[in-house]
């Protein structure tokens, strides 16, 4: 944070609330400070920005995408949308079934080996 440009209510090392981590505030205000505790923190973005596609993989080398920790199958979904083949591996049967269900919902038939 640029201290010269930051508004005074932004939490900085120069403008540290004295008891910020001890929890000594009443009705949302720091004891003896008069400002709400939330004013000492930076605001989060109002929404998730999300992902956008780019041309960065336009000239990718053909091959198979390997995900040894498949989880819910996000790598498989993205690989399918990009027209690539993939192998997903997970130690838990429940995650394998979840990934298969998710990938078949986008119209791709896959084999599940346990």
Is residue 10 located within the same domain as residue 43? yes
Is residue 74 located within the same domain as residue 31? no
- C-beta of residue 67 within 8 angstroms of C-beta of residue 76: yes
Per-residue pLDDT tens for 51-89? 566 666 666 677 899 999 999 999 998 888 888 889 999
Is residue 42 located within the same domain as residue 68? no
Say if 14 falls within a structural domain.
yes
Q: pTM of the entire structure? A: 0.48
Is residue 46 located within the same domain as residue 70? no
Per-residue pLDDT tens for 93-102? 999 999 989 8
Say if 7 falls within a structural domain.
yes
Say if 112 falls within a structural domain.
no
Is residue 70 located within the same domain as residue 33? no
Is residue 4 located within the same domain as residue 43? yes
Tell me the residue length of the chain. Answer: 114
Full residue range of the structural domain in which residue 76 is found: 64-104
pLDDT band at 23 (very low <50, low <70, confident <90, very high): low
Say if 57 falls within a structural domain.
no
Is residue 44 located within the same domain as residue 89? no
Residues 97/103/108/110 CA torsion (nearest 10 deg): -30
Is residue 6 located within the same domain as residue 39? yes
Closest CA to 16 of 27, 26, 8, 24: 8
Domain count, the chain: 2
Say if 109 falls within a structural domain.
no
């Amino acid at each position: 944070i640029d201290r010269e440009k930051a508004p005074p209510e932004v939490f900085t090392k120069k403008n540290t609330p004295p008891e910020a981590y001890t929890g000594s505030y009443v009705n949302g205000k720091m004891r003896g400070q008069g400002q709400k505790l939330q004013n000492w923190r930076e605001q989060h973005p109002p929404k998730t920005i999300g992902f956008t596609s780019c041309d960065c993989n336009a000239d990718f080398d053909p091959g198979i995408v390997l995900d040894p920790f498949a989880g819910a199958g996000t790598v498989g979904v993205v690989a399918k949308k990009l027209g690539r083949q993939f192998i997903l591996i997970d130690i838990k049967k429940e995650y394998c079934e979840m990934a298969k269900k998710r990938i078949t919902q986008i119209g791709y038939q896959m084999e599940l080996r346990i």
